[in-house]
Amino acid sequence: MALDAAQKAENGKAGTAKGGRAAPDERTEAKTGGIAADRLRSLVERIERLEEERRALSSDIKDIYLEGKSAGFDVKVLKALITLRKKEPAEVEEQETLLDLYKRALGM
């Protein structure tokens, strides 16, 4: 216990300006456990803003798939096309070749 009291007293002395008060930056960090609160808040707010944008984009994408479905397109096929377009042509060709090989092996 004596050690805890001594540590608290030592911590209270560290980083104090004239008059025994901590400088403004040191007080902020002391209250937040040494974490740069403004930087943390900035990061969290940026993440929250991007999460909101992602939700809005996801909603827009769902609407487009529904539009395609109402126009008579198969949504699973649309999603497969999107996946294929993201890949390199050589990768797509390799997968199609393997698929054909496997299908022939199974007599399909």
Q: Which helix (H) or strand (E) holds 92?
A: helix 89-105
Distances (CA, A) of 24 to 21, 28, 30, 34, 62: 9, 6, 10, 13, 49
Residue 1: pLDDT band (50, 70, 90) is very low
Average predicted confidence (pLDDT) for the chain: 82
Three-state DSSP class for residue 16: strand
Please give the pLDDT value at position 36. Answer: 87
Which tokens hold the place of 68?
């395609």
CB neighbour class for 68 (10 Å; exposed up to 12, middle 13-18, buried from 19): middle
DSSP state of 22: B
Please give the pLDDT value at position 16. Answer: 47
Map out the domains of the chain as residue ranges: 1-33, 36-72, 74-108
